[in-house]
Each structure stands twice: as C-alpha cells, then as structure tokens.
Copies of this chain bind each other. A is one copy, B any other.
Amino acid sequence: MYREEIKVLDCTIRDGGLINNHYFTDEFVRAVFKGVSDAGIDYIEMGYRSSREFAPPSDFGDWKYCDDEAILRVTDGIESDTKISIMVDAHRMLDQVFKPVDESPVDLVRVATYVKDIDKAIAAVNMCHDLGYETCVNIMAISAENEFELVEALSQVAKSPVSTVCVVDSYGYFFSEQIHHMMELYKKHLPDKRIGMHCHNNQQLAFANTIEGIRYDANLVDGSLYGIGRGAGNCPLELLIGFLKNPKFSIEPILKVIQNYMIPMRQELEWGYMIPYAITGSLNEHPRAAIAVRKTENKDKYVEFYSEIFDHLD
C-alpha cells in the first residue's frame, strides 16, 4: 500500500510509558529517537505533558511531563527529520507550560479526550494552535460511546482549528467492519480534517485495523516498536513499515532497536497479547481489570477472570 499522504507516528515512548510510569532512561529514549529518525518515521511521540499538580514528580519519570529541556537533552546531536509529538489529557489541563512553537522542540500536540470532555479538548487545541503547534484530537474509548453523542463531538471538533482527529480503539474491540464504519463517520463529520488511527492489540487486531483505517483514508497512523504499549499494546511499527511500500522508510534501524532494547525490556516489562486482554477486548470493556489481574498471582486464572468480568456485565 503506497500513498504519499500517509504519515506514521511512533508512540513507543508515550504509550510504552503507561506501563512503567514513564521511567525510561535517556539512553533508551535516545536510541528510539535515533532508530525512528533513521527509519524515516514522520513523528515520534515522547510522552505526556502533564501537570505536576495532578501527577506528582515523586511518582513519575520525565516522560510524564515532556518538558522542552528533557526533549532537547535526548534529541541533542541526533540528525533527524522526525517531528516531535507530545500528548495532553483534555480533562487534566492546569499549569503546564507551552512556549510558542518556534521556541520549543515540539511540533505536534495531541489532545486525548473522552466525548464528555470535548469542550476541554477544543480549548486545549485552541491554546496550542494559537502558539503555532500542529494539533490533533484523540477521542478515546469510542467503541463504548453513544454514537449520537460521538457525532455531536465530531461536529464540534470540525469547527475547531485542529488539523487531525484520530479514530482510537482504546479497548481493542473493533474489527474491520467497525473500523470502516468509524472511518466513514469521521470523514463525514470532519470533512476538512485529516483522519488518524490508533489501535490496541487486545484481540491481535491492531495491525489489521490500522490497515483497514489506511484503506479508508486514514493518513496518520500510529505504531510502536514491537507493539509496546499499555496492556496488549499497539500496532507493531515493524509490521506497519513492512506493509507501507514507501521507499522513504527503512526497516533496519527499527529492527536494530527492537533487538537491542525491546527484547531485553520485554523481560522486565509486560505487554502484548494475553488472555485477560483478549477477554476484556472481546467484551468491549476497558482493560483495567486485565491490567490489574496481571499484577496478581491469579494472572493466569482465565476461567475465574472471565466469570468475574462476565458477571459484572450482567
């Protein structure tokens, strides 16, 4: 699949940081930045810019805040055409500092939001847009939202200056026909916006669904190295690059970071396909119960876990 407009965003550090409270070493972040840059990836998402009021520094690493200084520290000296993205939560905007874009290493601000917080998301978009940043809205958990209200939110976002809106399958619930439906819905209600795609791998459908998004005109697609991300993780970047027949990408730098960093890291941090995530995904539930059970000695008691989740739905 080749289409010049398709841009790829690596969310290794950002979504991976949800597993370890954003405590990645500078060495690792530099290696990812260099690998992703050498591979020709369009964007790299470094983490969140969170308020230290909401998220005390005693509990989180640097990539929870993504201060400009931290970003400059890990990108310094590395040749790169890759744009830098950070994420903010619409409902947790408080005292974060944003300089004008030409004084910051950041290019893109992605605003994560729920449907109910769409006004806050648009306020954040307006603020960042006025400072010169490219902006994007990620409406989360849409598989469990009321579609009437989702459409209302999309219609509001349509009038904002945001350039991109991502279809986000937070629960890893969608399969192809539902991705097609969402793409058509987003295109219809956001006629002037670029549509993006961020998938989760609860049912091993993250890569497949990203492909389906691309088939239906998604032009900003997320992947992460070896699929790292909270719970079942994301669309593996290496698969995405193999699929996109764009000569501007090269896969070797990505394979190098995977073999040198991701494989050893997978011994320490857990992510990827596991039965509890398959269960919450197939039942269209938030993965939080699955994430919790994986930290207990009952982590492989699947029948028990299934009963609990299923009974809770009754």
Contacts and interface: CB of A to CB of B under 8 A. Distances in A.
Contact of A306 (B201, B251, B302, B303): B251
Interface residues of A, number: 40
A203 interface: yes
Given A176-B211, A211-B176, A258 B275 contact: yes
Nearest to A305: B255
A242 B306 contact: no
Contacts of A206: 204
A238 B303 CA distance: 12
Interface string A170-181: 000001110000
Interface in A291-311: 300-303, 306-307
A279 B175 CA distance: 24
A215 interface: yes
B207 A259 contact: no
A239 B278 contact: yes
Nearest to A306: B255
Interface of A: 175-177, 201, 203-209, 211-212, 215, 226, 236, 238-239, 242-243, 251-252, 255-256, 258-259, 263, 272-273, 275, 278-279, 282-283, 300-303, 306-307
Given A176-B215, A255-B302, 11 more contacts: A176-B208, A201-B204, A203-B239, A207-B208, A226-B275, A238-B275, A242-B282, A251-B306, A258-B302, A259-B275, A273-B273
